[in-house]
């Protein structure tokens, strides 16, 4: 009987997707709009995502331009980006906000790499949990008589290959981010 690894593959894909989104929010010294994805702004009496209040564009290599849809929200946007504590220089004018990326110091670069390693470890932990759940399911199916003992170990090897491949992809993503931060 063939075992369906779709659940495991879905969890592995989600771990990779999560790590990618977390890495996009880590500042590298170059202007990237993704760093502002998680910024919430208090405007119109409620918390809103920055994307709902403004367009974000790259002005040059080290700065972003946040163009408010409604000029009355510029001060709220400026306050929200400042409160997000992203280490960006913020200035505003009557049409929008400029977020400037300062040059990374060696100390800040090391902190960001440590943070990236922690995110990598969180993703690896998610992969381990998914592997353990799948292995438990395979063992339960063997006990219930659904698969033979030989099939159980064949499935375990197949599962481990999928897990190893994903861990390798996660490691490559980390190495890419680390190289990006050091350049």
Predicted confidence (pLDDT) per residue in 143-154, tens digit? 988 888 888 899
Rounded to the nearest 10 degrees, the angle between the axes of helix 149-182 and helix 106-143 is: 170
Asked if 157 and 92 sit in the same domain, the reply is no
Percent over 70 (pLDDT), the chain: 97
Asked if 20 and 110 sit in the same domain, the reply is yes
Instruction: Determine the structural domain holding residue 90 and report its residue range.
Output: 33-100
What is the rounded distance in angstroms from the CA atom of residue 148 to the CA atom of residue 125?
29
| CA nearest to 115, candidates 81, 89, 86, 88 | 86
The pTM is what?
A: 0.69
Residue 69 domain-assigned (yes or no): yes
Domain count, the chain: 2
Average pLDDT estimate for 78-85: 85
What is the rounded distance in angstroms from the CA atom of residue 142 to the CA atom of residue 17?
32
Q: Is 9 helix (H, G, I), strand (E, B) or coil?
A: helix
Domain CATH for 176: 1.10.132.20
Q: Residue 87 corresponds to which tokens in the numbers above?
A: 């280490």
């Amino acid at each position: 009987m063939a075992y369906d690894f779709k659940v495991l593959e879905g969890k592995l894909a989600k771990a990779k997707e999560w790590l990618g989104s977390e890495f996009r929010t880590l500042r590298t010294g170059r202007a990237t709009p993704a760093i502002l994805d998680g910024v919430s702004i208090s405007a119109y009496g409620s918390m809103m995502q920055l994307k709902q209040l403004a367009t974000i564009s790259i002005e040059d290599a080290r700065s972003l331009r946040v163009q408010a849809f409604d000029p009355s929200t510029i001060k709220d946007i400026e306050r929200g980006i400042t409160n997000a504590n992203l280490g960006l220089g913020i200035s505003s004018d009557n049409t929008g906000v400029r977020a400037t990326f300062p040059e990374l110091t060696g100390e800040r670069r090391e902190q960001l790499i440590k943070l990236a390693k922690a995110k990598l470890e969180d993703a690896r932990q998610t992969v381990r949990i998914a592997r353990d759940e799948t292995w438990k399911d395979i063992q339960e199916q063997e006990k219930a008589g659904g698969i033979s003992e030989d099939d159980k170990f064949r499935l375990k090897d197949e599962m481990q290959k999928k897990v190893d491949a994903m861990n390798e992809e996660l490691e490559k993503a980390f190495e890419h981010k680390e190289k990006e931060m050091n350049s």
